[in-house]
Amino acid sequence: MNGPSLTCTQQTKLGDYEEPSFTLVTEQATVENKVTTSTPGSGTALTLTTKNGGKGGKKNGSALGNVEYTLTITNTSDGTVSTIVGRTDSSGTDSKTWTAPTAGLYAITTTATGGLTSDTVYYLAGVQSVEDGETSTTETVYTLESTVGKENKITSVYGTPIALTVQQQTVTKNGNAVTAGSKTEVTGDIAYTWRQSGQSESKETAINGSTFRPEKAGTYIITAYQNYSDTSKRTKLASTTITVKRKPLELYVTWDKDNSEHTSTEAPDSKSALVVKADALETGDSLPSAITAVCALYDDKGNRKNVSGRFEVTIAVNGEDAAVKSLLEKYELNLTKRMLVVKQDTLSVTYRAGEGGSLSASYNSGNLDQKFESGKNIAKNTRLMFDAKSNDGFLCKGMEGQRSVHYR
């Protein structure tokens, strides 16, 4: 199933404006004196329509209705994020009306339950108005681009470096027509900072160079500056919001005599040999000791029980542990299971009593005494107990009452 789609209906078209992602207008030049410009203000009321499902919003001929979704609206000028929550109707669509509170370029996405996210739609609010149709205004627009690999991204995964660049582009508005020139990269003294969105205590932190490496998953506001080190000349060029998702991480259990495919079912002698590992941890990260292997084959002291059968090996995660909480801010854990198979060697045990008495036998299993008849197969290394009773007038020779032997 494809992700939800988002359409943006507005009264003022953006014309030939090329991919206006993450921009901030910082300069303005008037071509002719006849031009009358207004103070940048709020935007036109927009109708934002969310449509869920695949092609046509349907799956197997039926509309995907009653799906909750969230509209995320980011002012790319200052990183402010607002959200609108809605639910699709029986036809799989829903519409909301929204008006930009201030001038700026807005990035709008819709995310349905389950994490499916639409492509981003951009809206430029507060564009300068032109009184005379023969005159125009020209603005320089700066774009902060976040690139993963060779693709411009506003979402990423923990552990993936994000390359940052600033592009500039001239935009000319003539009447209702908007045209844009080619983008060129801004070079020179460019510095970048980050802070976490929605956390008032999050301070703006400088990024070393032009590559952003998030310290955990979350939503980050990235800002580009010129002359950042000189506060008297510092100029904010552009800002954007990047969503970093947790990295999927598979955990598995292994031990020293395990095979390379981790499919061995031969049980180690001690639980301490079972180790939880992961192959996709980022450099500097490690698995906390509060993530452990669990298996009923071993007692509370970690010793292997004298039993046979199939025993599942699972992974326990202590979510109250501080180190585990830190790990879960970065990774989405996939806990795998394994099976241990124990087949014990057995020997036949026979016993008998003479005419002067009786003899019974038992062994301990799970803290219970299990009696067994002569001729039963018993696992090696099992401690056996024999109870001899004499008839009246007879005495037990060589055994008085209950005795135990270690059967090997």
The string of pLDDT tens digits covering residues 356-367 is 888 889 988 767
Q: Six-digit token pair at 241?
A: 């919001």
Residue of 126, 124, 140 lying closest to 22 (CA atoms): 124
Q: What pLDDT score does 162 carry?
A: 93
| Structure confidence at residue 241 as a pLDDT band (50, 70, 90) | confident
Q: What pLDDT score does 247 carry?
A: 95
Look at 32-36, 79-83, 87-91, 342-346 and tell me which has the smallest mean pLDDT.
Answer: 32-36
Interatomic CA distance for residues 399 and 8, integer angstroms: 94
Give me the residue label for tokens 């059968």.
309
Q: What pLDDT score does 407 carry?
A: 43
| Structure confidence at residue 279 as a pLDDT band (50, 70, 90) | very high
pLDDT at 194 over 50: yes
Residue of 89, 83, 94 lying closest to 66 (CA atoms): 89
- Residue predicted with more confidence, 99 or 122: 99
Strand order in the sheet with 368-372: 368-372, 357-365, 382-390, 402-407
Residue type, 79: G
Whole-number average pLDDT of the chain: 75
pLDDT at 15 over 50: no
- Extract the runs of DSSP E, i.e. beta strands, from 302-397: 309-317, 331-335, 338-342, 346-349, 357-365, 368-372, 376-379, 382-390
Residue of 59, 241, 21 lying closest to 143 (CA atoms): 21
Q: How far is CA 268 from CA 62, 256, 285, 302, in A?
A: 53, 9, 28, 11
What is the arithmetic mean of pLDDT over 20-26? 27
Contact 89, 69 (CB under 8 A): no
Nearest-5° angle of CA 211, CA 214, CA 219?
Answer: 115
Is 325 in a helix, a strand, or coil?
A: helix
- Residue predicted with more confidence, 336 or 126: 336
- Residue predicted with more confidence, 16 or 394: 394
Q: Six-digit token pair at 218?
A: 């979350």
pLDDT at 39 over 60: no
Q: What pLDDT score does 255 carry?
A: 95
- Residue predicted with more confidence, 276 or 40: 276
pLDDT at 58 over 80: no
- Residue predicted with more confidence, 5 or 162: 162
